[in-house]
Amino acid sequence: MVKVRSFKACLANQANASKIISPPYDTLNTEEAKEMAAGNEMCFLRVSKPEIDLPAGTNLYAPEVYQKGRENLLHFRKEGYIVDDTEERMYIYMQKMAGREQCGIMAMASVEDYENGIIKRHELTIKKKEEDRTRLSDTQNANLGPVFLAFKDGEGIEKRMMEIVHSTEPYSLVHGHDSTDHVVWKCSVEDSQYFSKEFEKIPCTYIADGHHRAASAFNVGKMRRETAKAAG
C-alpha cells in the first residue's frame, strides 16, 4: 500500500510566480545559473543553487553554500516572494509543451516506502550529489524540488484529477523559460483525503525522475529519526 499524504506547501506568491520559477538545480552549472538569475532577486535558483550569491570560485560543497541557501530561503519567505498555504492539502501540477500535457498529484510520499522498496528505484545515485542535496535539505529544513513518481492503474485518481483541472481555476499559470506552461491547482481538503485513500489501493510507485532528491529526503528523515531516538 502506497502512503501519500497532504502537506502545507510554501507556494510562490501569485504575483511573483513568473519571476520565481526556475529550472531544476541539476540542469544548469553555476555560471549558467548566475546568468539566468542576473537582475532577478526572486529567481529560485538563489535558493536551490545558492553558490551563485557567493564569490566566484567558492567550493560548491563548502558549509557557507548551504548556509547561504538557508538564508536565501528565509529571505524569500520574509519578503513574501513565497508564502505558506493556509492548510494541509494536495495539489495538481500540469506541464503543457509542444501540444502535449502531463499532469500529476503533488503530495508527501513516505520515506518508509522508500526504505521498504515500495518506492521502486532503477538508477544508482552519485554519492557526492546525494550528499550535497542531503546537506542542503537538512540545513534549509525544506525539500526544494519534486520527485516524479509513476504508478499503475489508479483510474479513480486520474478521473478526479481531471475533473478538478477542467472545473476550477488554477492557482498559478506560468510560461517557463523552456516554452513549457506550468500550471498548479489547489485541491480541497476533501479531494486530498480522497486521493490519499485511493493511493492506498496501489501496491507501489516508480521513480521516473529525482533519484538524488528521493535519496536525500530519505537521508534527512533517517538522520532526524536517529537524533530523536538518541534524545529519548
Grid coordinates representing 4 are: 501519500
Q: Answer whether 116's CB lies under 8 Å from 204's CB.
A: no
Which residues, 6 or more positions from 11, have their beta carbon under 8 angstroms from its beta carbon?
A: 82, 83, 84, 85, 171, 172, 184
Q: What is the pLDDT of residues 103-155, one digit of tens each?
A: 999 999 999 999 999 999 999 999 999 999 999 999 999 999 899 999 999 99
C-alpha cell at 34: 548566475
Residue 177's pLDDT is 79
Q: What share of the chain is helix, strand, coil (3-state, %, to 5)?
A: 45, 20, 35
> Domain spans of the chain?
4-230
Whether pLDDT at 232 is above 80: no
Q: Which pLDDT belongs to residue 178?
A: 80
- Look at the block and give the residue holding cell 553558490: 51
Give residue 230's pLDDT: 87
pLDDT of residue 231: 83
Q: What is the rounded distance in angstroms from the CA atom of residue 212 to the CA atom of residue 191? A: 30
Over the chain, what is the mean pLDDT?
95
* pLDDT score recorded for residue 229: 86
Phi, psi angle pair for 121, to nearest 5° = -110, 150
pLDDT band at 32 (very low <50, low <70, confident <90, very high): very high
Range list of H helices, 38-186: 45-48, 63-78, 111-115, 127-140, 155-167
Tell which residue, 148, 63, 114, 84, has the closest CA to residue 220. Answer: 114
The predicted pLDDT at position 218 comes to 96
- pLDDT tens figures, 37-47: 999 999 999 99
The pTM is what?
0.92
> Residue 85's CB: how many other CB atoms inside 10 A?
15
Band the pLDDT of 79: cuts 50, 70, 90. very high
Spatial contact of 210 and 106, defined as CB atoms under 8 Å apart:
no
